[in-house]
Every structure is written in structure tokens, then in C-alpha cells.
Chain A
Amino acid sequence: MKLTKGVEMKNKVVISIICVVVVIGASIGLYLGLRNTNDKPVNSVTITDMVGDTVTVKKNASKVAVLARSAVDMLVAFGLGEKVDGVYYTVLNNEWAKTIYPHSENYFAYDYDTTVETYLARGVDLVIAPEKYIADNLREHGITAFTVSQYGTPNYDDSVFAFAEIIKKIWEGNEIKTKINEWENEFTAIKDEIILKLATIQTTQSLYYVRGDKNKGIRYTENSEKTIQNTIAKYLKLNYVSKDFTSSEPTAEVLLSTNPDYIFVGGAFQNTIINNIRTDSIWSGLSAVTNDKIFNIGVGFVMFEQNGVELSIYLADMANKIYPDKFNFDITQMLKDSMQKYFGKTISDNDATNMLNGKKANGENLA
């Protein structure tokens, strides 16, 4: 092994040149090999998703992985529940999901970092992702995916029907289209009625929304003007205070100085959080606490404040609670009708009340 320095250097250079040539040759081979795998979709439709990406999707996709929580609600409601292969795992933690749609017990529990091969092994032909980076990554690896976001650009005003319209393009069938059109009409009618009746009201009062899908207390919100909460607040002539926060978890002092007039709390932990807000003395000076303006947001197949078919009920419920002298929507009946119409599920008044109060069917807290 003892070589003279000159021979050693020569050997090193020769070995190095061979290695670099092999790697560059392999790179060219890999690039050409990759180009050969670019597939031409058959029987497809091109859609633009909620973040502006243009995606070619197989028409009538039959095995869909739904990571965007709100999207599964619409798919099931519009008659496509059988096409869903699995959902984001937290959807399955909600007891109402299997009560409202028993077939959901067969759904696979996906996570944001489920391996790409798992989708392929399960024969998934479409993934509906909540974030662009997830959809981008899946598309890079040969899986059709698009994004259904909880955020609109520049705001959510024109995004309420975006996913419903995408559904119409991908899945054929008059029944689906009819249901979608009816839901859009319902929402539009309620929204228009609210806007009309509040036309002369000036926006002086404020709304704060608490995300109760995690047990993080009052200081967990949606802090963007792009959210659906901001759009709903605009319809109700309220200033959505969270839109100006730099973080989804504002400090206690920021929240106290904001002093919202109304607090709406959603998610599985809502009742625990509401109880804490009412009993923790630090919040006792908030207007919403003093005036007892802290409200539940319903939970059904998914949380009502997400973009599902219950969104119109959520809007009407908020209008009743904020302007009791102006609105008197029959929320219980609306919810019962909605469950029957979209999920084929007959629910009792007691069930409807529990759903609207963010509770289980037996009246216990959801979490």
C-alpha cells in the first residue's frame, strides 16, 4: 500500500475523474428515466384549487384521501361518502362523525406525514390537502392532489363556494349538482337576509373567535383576515379582532386590551374553555364576560365554523345570538333538516341541541 506521492496523487485523480463521470452519467440516466414516467391522464378534468394551483384530476375519482377536515363534510353531504378512502385522523375522534355517517368507521386515519407509498398501496387516486406544501409534495411524487384551504386570497369572501364548485367539476351526476346548488342557495339566502337587515348598522362591536379543537384556552385563534371567521364577521357587521394579531396565540395583555364584545368558541374543547373563561378572574373584566356574550359553536360531522354544509346554520346561529331583536332563525329545525337532507340522518331535538352546544349525544363534553 505504500505508494510514492506522485503515483498516489495520480491514482487519486484517476479514481476521482471516474467517480465524477459515473455520477454525471447516472444523473443524465435518472433524468431521462424520470421523463419517461410522466403520465398522460385519461378521462380527466382540470381544476384550479383554492391556492391557485391548476391540477389535472381523474374524473369521478373513486378513492379519495381527505386531509382537509372541512372537505370531508361536503363530500359526504353531497353523496360522495363512499368515494372517501380515509380522512385526517382527528375527524374520526369526533363521536358525531360515526353517528351521523356510520360508514365513516371504515375510513382510514391519515396524517399530514403519511408516507406517499401508503397512498399508493391503498390505491388512492386523489388527495385533498389542507395546505399547498402537502399537495405540492404529493404531486411531485406522482399522486394527484389539490388544496382546499381554510384561507382565501385576499380574503374568504369569494371562497365559500370554491370547493363545492370543484366537486361539481370532478364528479358527475345530477343529484350531486342539485344538492350543491341547493346548499349554495340556502347559504346565499341567509347571507343576503342578514346583510339586508344589517344594512344600516355601523360596525362598532367586535368579535373574537377561539379555536377549541385543541385545549389551549382562550388564547388560541385564527389570526388572519383571510379566514372564514373574518368574512362571517363582516356579514354580521362586526370587527374580527384576531385579524390584526401577529400570532394565532396572542398574549393575555393583547387580548385584554382588545376587549372583544363577543367571544365565539368552537371545537371539541369549547365547553372546557368557556368554563375557564367564565371562572378565571383574569378575564372577568372583558366586555364579553361581563355581558355574558360567550357562545358555543356547533359541532356535527365537523366543526360548524369550517367550510362545510353547516356553515349556513353557523351564520344564522350567530345572527340570532348577536342580534336577538332582529333575527329569529329556527336553528334546531334548520339543523335537523340539514342532517336529514345531506346525511340522511334523522336526529332528535335533544341531539340538535347537543350538537349546537358542542356536546356529545349523551350531553357530555366532546373532550
Chain B
Amino acid sequence: MAKTWHKYGWLYLIVGFIFMAFVFVLSLCMGQYHLSFSEVINALFNGDNGETANNIIWKLRLPRLLSACFIGVALAVAGIIYQNTFQNELASPDIIGVSSGASVGIAWGILIGLPLIAISFLGFVLGVLAMGLTLFIARLFKNKSMTILIISGVLVSGFMGAVVSLIKSMADADTQLPNIVFWLLGSFASVTMEQTIIIMIVVSICVTFLYCISGKILNNIALGEEQARSKGVNYKLWRIIILGFATILTALSVSIAGVIGWVGLVIPHIARLLAGHTTQKSIPLAILFGGSFMMICDTLARTLTTSEIPVGAITGFFGIILFIAILTFKKGQKYGID
């Protein structure tokens, strides 16, 4: 299917963009509070619908939708980067301990009663520190293979998971514990417009950078150290830079919306199915699909019942179905390699 890119590449992008825009507009009109399309447009551009409608659009739906979209983009692109860099198509953004590190920050922040913005910041910092710890442990083994880095990531994730369990055991069972559990399952319920703006800017810069290096550098890094060097790419330096940017995307996502699984695993597969392994083609598709997928999941999370459903549960539900569909579609092919 990836071979059709030469023929239909632009068509995929155009259809993907139209679909994303459609999902955005539809999601903006959906919610527990009924607002007609004209009321939504009025609230967006005129602000003369009354206080409630304006609040719903500007303080609830718009920040959530934009955050969901950009975090979907961040996780999908981070997924492509990790899968490429680790030469492992089952790699996902939480593979080097970033998600579990950020989870510790979030759980700790809730336990000590920090304000929302400080909880997110702590999550982000510990997510990045966890990645540093993974790299440090990998160096202790004095083995440059990617497998060692993945094993270090598993160790750090396990350690951070234990810390989260410890924090949960200390949390108030009625109030703090449900909040920790709910946040770690993923939710955009607490996202504010200020956070959204930060997400938009950081994700745009990181994804733009990764897209700009998507040709020669990303593709050659995916071939391994020897081949990358033979093609004039400073493997060690670029690997750190690339993983650094992917880590920022992941840590930011977890610190704002909790651990949202499957997006970073499934979306890169769909993008590669259509665009092949060259990242300059798969990244734009992952942007469009990741953003759309997350917006759909979050809209379901906030509209299906009067209570919030963890968005991680919905991405898991659809992610597994999509993954099975992909595996079925790829049946007969050598898995993971075109």
C-alpha cells in the first residue's frame, strides 16, 4: 500500500487534512451542553451569545480540543521517532521511561496538594529526568546497542512504577487516590487555555524540527550506527538530539493529560502503511491522523456520559481494534519491514 504514495501522496494529505478539520468542527459542536452550530460560531467570533456559551467554547471545548489535537500529534510523531530510532516497530513513547517518570511527578504533585500548573511542571521535569536516568544506566553497561537502551528504559519504567505504587498507597483513598488514578489513565478535563497555548507552541517547534530533519538524518539513524556513519551522519549526536525532542513531546503530553496509550504505537503504523518508512512522508500523515484520532477519543470521553471517561481507556479500546486491523492487513508481509 505504501507504494501508492507516489500516486496518491498528496491525496492522502488533502483527505487527511479535510477529515481533521471536519472532526475539529464537529467536536466543537458536541457536548453535554447543547449549542447549535450558529451559537458556536457566534461564541467564537462575536462573543455575543451570553456568558455560558462563551465559557463553554473558550474555556472548555476549545482548549480541550486543541490540546487533544496537539497531544495526539505529539504522541504520534514521538512514536514514529522512537520506532525509527530503536529500529523496533513495537516501540512507543513510553519505552525509555518518560511516561512513567512523568507519572511519578503527577502522583507526587497530587499527593502534596500542588496546584494544577505545578503538577504538570513537576510531571514534565521528572519525565525528562527519567529519560536522563535511562541514558545514564545504559552507559553503565558500556554497550552501545539499542537493546541495552530499551532494557534501561524498562528498568527505569519499573522503578518509576514502583514509586507511583508507593505514592498511591500514601494517598487519601477518597480524594487523592481517585484523582491520581484518573489522571494517570489520561484526561483533558483539567486543561486550560494557557496550558493549551504552551502545548501548541512547544509541539509545533518540536514537530517542525523533526520534520525538517526527517529526510537524510532520521532515515539514516533508522539504519543503525554503521550505515548512518557511512552516510556522513553523526550518529551519537543526532540520536541524542532526536530522542531529546521526542522526550519533550512525550513528557509534555503526559504532564498535561496523563498517560495515553496506543496513540504512539498505532498511528505510526497507519502512517507507514500509507507512506512507507521514509519519515518525510510518514510524519505529515502521523500529524493528521494522530490529531484526528485524539480529538475523536476526547470528544467521546466527555460526551458519552455525564462523568468524564478516562481518554486512555478510549484510545486503548480503539487502538487495539486498529492494531488488529493493521496486523490483519499486513498478513503475509514480513512484519515491520517493507
Contacts and interface: CB of A to CB of B under 8 A. Distances in A.
A binds B: yes
Interface of A: 1-2, 5, 8-9, 12-13, 15-16, 19-20, 23-24, 26-27, 30-31, 33-34, 36-37, 39, 111-118, 120-121, 130-133, 136-137, 140-142, 213-214, 216, 220, 246-249
B196 A30 contact: yes
Nearest to A8: B215
Interface string B240-274: 00000000000000000000000000000000000
A118 B115 CA distance: 23
A15 to B, nearest CB: 8
B214 interface: yes
Contacts of B10: 1
B307 A13 contact: no
Interface stretch (B83-91, B133-141, B165-173, B324-332): B165-173
A117 B31 contact: yes
A117 B302 contact: yes
**DSSP majority for the B interface?**
helix
A33 B63 CA distance: 11
B163 to A, nearest CB: 15
Interface stretch (B122-130, B200-208, B289-297): B200-208
A97 to B, nearest CB: 18
Interface in B203-236: 204-205, 208, 211-212, 214-216
Nearest to A111: B307
B212 A113 contact: no
Nearest to B193: A34
Contacts of B196: 30
A61 to B, nearest CB: 15
A65 to B, nearest CB: 12
A133 B118 CA distance: 12
Contact of A118 (B55, B62, B215, B306): B306
B32 A20 contact: no
B189 A116 contact: yes
5 contacts: A5-B215, A27-B197, A120-B32, A131-B179, A137-B190
Interface stretch (B18-26, B46-54, B74-82, B147-155): B46-54
Given A16-B211, A111-B307, A113-B307, A120 B56 contact: yes
A316 B307 CA distance: 40
B59 A141 contact: yes
Contacts of B197: 27, 30-31
B62 A30 contact: yes
A33 B193 CA distance: 10
B116 A8 contact: no
B16 interface: no
B192 interface: yes
Nearest to A129: B175
A136 B115 contact: yes
Interface string B175-197: 11011001000010110111011
Nearest to A12: B212
B32 A118 contact: yes
A125 to B, nearest CB: 10
A360 to B, nearest CB: 23
B113 interface: yes
Contacts of B190: 137, 140
A36 B306 CA distance: 28
B335 interface: no
Interface in B1-59: 5-6, 9-10, 31-34, 44, 47, 51-52, 54-56, 58-59
Nearest 5 pairs of A and B residues by beta carbon: A142-B55, A117-B32, A23-B204, A16-B208, A121-B33
B215 A27 contact: no
A1 B175 contact: no
Given A12-B214, A140-B192, A34 B173 contact: no
Contacts of A115: 32, 189, 302, 306-308
Contacts of A131: 175-176, 179
